[in-house]
Structure formats: C-alpha cells, structure tokens
Amino acid sequence: MHRPIHELTDAYRRGGLTPTAVAEAYLARIDALDGRVGAYLTVVREQALAAARESELRWRAGKPLGPLDGVPVALKDVLCTRGVRTTCGSKMLEAFVPPYDATVVARLRAAGAVILGKTNMDEFAMGSSTELSVFHPTRNPWDLARVPGGSSGGSAAAVAGGLAAGSFGSDTGGSIRQPAAFCGVVGMKPTYGRVSRYGLVALASSLDQIGPFAQDVRDAALLLGVVAGHDRRDATSIAAPVPDYIAELPKGVAGLTLGLPDEYFIDGMDPDVERAVRAAIEVLKGLGARVERVSLPTTKHSLAAYYLILPAEASSNLARYDGVKFGLRVPGRDLVEMESRTRAAGFGAEVKRRIMLGTYALSAGYYDAYYGKAQSVRTLVRREFAAAFARVDLIVAPTTPNVAFKHGEKEDPLSMYLNDVFTIPGNLSGIPGVSVPCGFSGAGLPIGLQVLGRPLDEARVLRAAYAYEQATPWRSRRPELTA
C-alpha cells in the first residue's frame, strides 16, 4: 500500500479502484503489521468503512468533494476527534473522548478523507523518539529495532509502513520534520498560524503547528492545501490567502538563491548525513539554483532557549489536568491531595521534568534570568532568519544530525534533546520548513534534507523540495515490511 494519494484518486476517477476497497486494504494491513510497528493507538474501523462507502457513492456519481475524497489518513492523537478518544499518549487522558473535532479534522472530513485512526506519540508531544508513550513504543518500519523519531513518530511510521496514505502530526520543535527524516517520508511544518490550532491539545502555544506527512511532495501539498487557511476560532490564525500549492510545484528552482548555514554542519554530525545533504545541494545547483553561505550564529543558543520557553508554556498549559473537570482522577482526602495524587499518577517522568523546569523558569526571582533571557534569544533567532532571507530565497540544511537511533540508546534527556538542534530554530522563528528524503546511510537508514522559507512562503518551500525529489530516486524506495 504505497500508492501516493494523487495516484489513488486518479484510480478512483478511472474506476480502477474504489475507496471501500482501498480502506479495507489499509485496515487489513494495519491488522497484519501494526502489532509490530505500533503506529496506532486507536483504529476506527467502522467509521472508516462508513466514510469510504459514502465516498464511493460520490465518485460513482462523478461528484467527489475534492482531491482527498476517499483517501485513508491517520491523525496524531493530539488532535481532538468527536466521539473518538484523544489520549496524547498519556495515562492522564487515557479515557478522554472529546465532544468536538479540531478544525483540521473537520476540514479533512469535509474534504471526504477517510480517517483510519489515531497515531501514537510521545506523551503530550514531549519527546523525540515515540518511546515515551504510556501505551507502547512505535518502531521504525525501516528497522524495527530503531525509533521512528518523535513526537509524531506514529504518524510518520504509518505513512512509511504503508499503514496510511497520509497523516498529520504537530511540530513544536521538530516533531514533524525529525520523524519524517528518520522514516524516509515528506514532513511539512507550515508557518505558525497558517493552519488552525483549534482542537490541538496544546504543548507550547507559541510554538505548536500542525502539518502533514506524505509519501511525496505532491501529496504533502495536497494535504496542506485542504487544512490551511484562517479560522476565527484560533486567535493566532493568519487571515492570508492560501496559494494553489500544486500549481506552484513545477516551477523548479532555476534562478533561486539557496542559503547554506555554516552552523548546521557541526562536530559530531553523522558523516553519512553530511555527505547526503551536500550531495543534495549539488543536485539543486545542477537544477539551476545558486547556493551561497549564510550565518545564523544564534543557532547554537536555540536549543537552550527552546528548553526554557517550551517547559514554561507547557507548565501553564498542563495545569488544567488536575482531576477536577476531565481526565484521570485519583481520589484523596481533600482537593490538594486529590490533585497531587492525580498529577503524580497521570504524568510520566519526562512530562514531570518539563513541568518542574517550566515552573522554576517562571518563578519569582528567576523569570528575567531564564524565561526573559530565552525570549531575547528567540528575538535574535528571528532577526537572523529575516536578515538571511533578505539575501536568499530559501535555506537548505540537514533535518537531523544523525539517522534513526536504536530503542533505548538515548536514555539521558540531553542526548535526546540534541536530535532537534536543526529543527528548533524554525519553530522559534515561526517559519515554514519541510523535510524531504535525500539518501540513505551505509546501514540503509533514511536521511532528510530540510528546506526552510520565509513566513507564509510554503509554496516556494514545497516547490524546491519537489524539484529535488523529481531529480532523485529516493521517493521510490520503501521499507520491506511484511507480515
């Protein structure tokens, strides 16, 4: 099941395939393989088949709802789904069933997409490996002994393993782009505010953004085009026109200037990653792009700033999980004991670590020294990107400094946090970025090329990724995952 979305809908149009047959095939593959991969937390079989049957009637009548009608997709379990549990990979929300759909989910349903289920994730999106779900880890379809990345690892693994035609995740510090690189798929983080966050369970409200995973760049453009656009229910949503991303793809990179940041090639970087990324840049030059070096010196401070801003916002957002209104409740003699017991039992170690770090950073006497200083660094990161984009059209860099690592290999928090060193600056500045496969390591593991653009310039980011993808063979390689 590795047919891209645009090929599926072409087959629906010709009558060679039906949405019901495709949904049944995906559900059968999930039954056969997901016990080994662990991409899903919840599969909504009957709902999916009902949606597929409705789509089939529309295709037969020649009245599909659009380019996603009848397409099987998966959703990271951080997006609220009406009547379907939304756990965030946590014991705290193990039994939570939202009464409404997130805007992204509502737009997918309105487009006729067939939702297969909810995918696994690091608890409350805090992690880079999808080992920190309270339910089970997710494994990389290229090598089941390795992680798929995180926190959207379930969504990335579902697409890589042929368990969904496309999927959605959230990216707070790289949680779409990093697992996309590890799993050899395309992962897009739009501009902050391009896609509504209404119904996304918040981790860090000034950083979170929803975006797609896809088998190729064209599919990523299709998925983004359906969910992007202003939403009055999200105060941070941008009221800007959404371009026709598909129409922009064939324009190529000839005449574009690409910036190559010195700070994204560091000591300790996997030599296979550097080799593949530099080879990808040569391909782009061969397609007519001009490449020049740029400097983003505050990059080296981005990780430290991020791990103050994110925990501070997370500690505030997660204060609502106190056992009073919804979610887990552990009884106690009084309100204070009940809340204490609930939070102790409901949150995992990494979530508790970040809550404590964030609470400390916001506390009296430390706010200016830590949180305030981190916000100053964030401003510098934004200014440096703006200065770079005054000279270049796009920035190209590695997505990650290494390939997928083995389960249990990175047990200390710092080594795990370093996986996001190249993706975090994009979140701090709110700019769009995509990871596209650009080769494989000597061990046969995928490597990702990251393309970053100006705010709201997703069209040009996707255009460059598409030009590279079409000139290389990587999109045709899939993991040999069999029952």
The residues that are catalytic are 76, 151, 175
DSSP characters for 178-232? HHHHHHTSEEEEPPTTTB--TTBPPSSTTT--EEEEESSHHHHHHHHHHHBS--T
Q: Supply 82's token pair.
A: 């009406």
Return the SS3 of 162: coil
**CA gap 129, 107 in Å, rounded:** 29
Alpha carbon distances (Å) from 44 to 115, 162, 166 = 8, 17, 16
DSSP characters for 295-337? --TTHHHHHHHHHHHHHHHHHHHGGG-SSSSSS-----SSHHH
Within 8 A by CB and 6+ apart from 100, the residues are 80, 82, 199
Return the SS3 of 210: strand
Other beta carbons within 10 Å of 240: 14
Return the SS3 of 390: coil
CB contact at 8 A, 79 and 168 = yes
Q: Supply 448's token pair.
A: 């990702």
**CA gap 450, 436 in Å, rounded:** 7
Residue with tokens 């656009």: 229
**CA gap 217, 246 in Å, rounded:** 9
